[in-house]
Structure 1
Amino acid sequence: MTFDAAIITEKGVTFVIIIVKPEILKHDFTINEARQVFSKFFPTMPIILMAQESATTPTYQGRQDLVKFLNTVDYMLLPWKSYTVKEG
Structure 2
Amino acid sequence: MSYQIEGAIVKVKDDTLAIVTVKPQVFQSTSELQKAMNAYRHVFPGMPIVLMSQDTQGKPTWYGRKNIVSLLAKVNLRSIPWRRYIIN
TM-score of Structure 1 vs Structure 2, range by shorter chain: over 0.9
Q: Deviations over 1:24-81 (max 9, x none)?
A: 0110111111011100101100000000112231000000111100111001210001
CA RMSD of superposed structures (Å): 0.9
- Tell me the distance in 1 between the aligned counterparts of 2:52 and 2:28: 12
Q: Aligned pair 1:39/2:22, yes or no? A: no
- Tell me the distance in 1 between the aligned counterparts of 2:82 and 2:69: 17
Q: Aligned pair 1:71/2:68, yes or no? A: no
Unaligned runs of 5+ in 1: none
The runs of 4+ residues in structure 1 deviating greater than 4 Å are none
Unaligned runs of 5+ in 2: none
Identity among equivalent pairs (%): 31
- Tell me the distance in 2 between the aligned counterparts of 1:51 and 1:63: 15
- Which of 59, 80, 86 aligns to 2:82? It is 80
When normalised by structure 2's length, the TM-score is 0.92
